[in-house]
Amino acid sequence: MREHDAFGPATMRRGRRKFDDDDADFVKTGKLEPALAEDPDLPETGDRWSTWDGALHGPHPRPDWIRTEHAAVDTELGMLKTGKEADVFLVRRAVPDTDRISMIAAKRYRDGDHRLFHRDAGYLEGRRVRRSREMRAMTNRTAFGKELIAGQWAAAEFGALSRLWQVGQEGGTISVPYPVQLLGTELMLEFIGDWETGEAAPRLAQVRPDRDGLEDLWRQMTEALSVLARTQIAHGDLSPYNTLVHRGRLVIIDMPQIVDLIANPQGAEFLARDVRNVASWFTARGLTVDVDALIESLSYEAGLL
């Protein structure tokens, strides 16, 4: 079992759910299929034993709602979101006959035969692998290369969330979901929403704040952008559709395309695009925002000026 140094009891009502950047129908997937028709090691309840053991784990200090027990069982409750690179499912991880329960968003990246790669080239600039054979496969988009890229995107998001969650714990003004674990191309994250109903927190694009609320959300957004800049990374695809608002708190999600501002030659362009994408939502609601000044300030914080 490897470690990465990098809400309470709940009952579920199943139904339609939405998640970050895509409108998606809630799809019932039924139980996870066991490897064998008759698996003697299947749990008596739920779909499978917890996959915690053997996965790469999130950073310390670990939240107390994380279920690490070997007796924990995963039950899949349905699909939260379908997207271009991955599908997200709601999973309840619990120790049977106890109140030790956690709700997790399981993000499963598509394999090389199904993922869409029309927009990944710019994001991958500055990312390298050690073996030249793997680098060539990724560059040429062979089947093997696409599998490597899928794994890279999952690992990049896990690493970015781990890093930013720690920054937030150390006083940085940014909120991201806690990255529970990474196993292959399945990334398990803290579910941001109502644990009782399974309703995901609304996207920023869905909220209708009053003036004070709008100003507070913009303050949180600029503080989060500042943390990203000082960490020398850009979200790469930041918008009101991959930002959640949970009980007044702005939560940044969806980071597989994270950009290293220094290593990526297009880093400054990604930073500026992120700012313009989110600023346009606030200005459309009447808030005065000096976009150019903010981009210049963030570029300085990132060491690009």
Q: What is the pLDDT of residues 245-292, one digit of tens each?
A: 999 999 999 998 899 999 999 999 999 999 999 999 999 999 999 999
pLDDT of residue 83: 80
Share of the chain above pLDDT 90, in %: 64
Domains and CATH numbers, the chain: 48-200 (3.30.200.20), 204-301 (1.10.510.10)
pLDDT of residue 304: 95
- Once rounded to an integer, what is the mean pLDDT over residues 161-175? 94
CB 282 within 8 A of CB 210: no
- Above 70 in pLDDT, residue 296? yes
pLDDT of residue 199: 94
- pTM attached to this predicted model: 0.79
- Above 90 in pLDDT, residue 164? yes
- Above 60 in pLDDT, residue 124? no
pLDDT of residue 110: 80
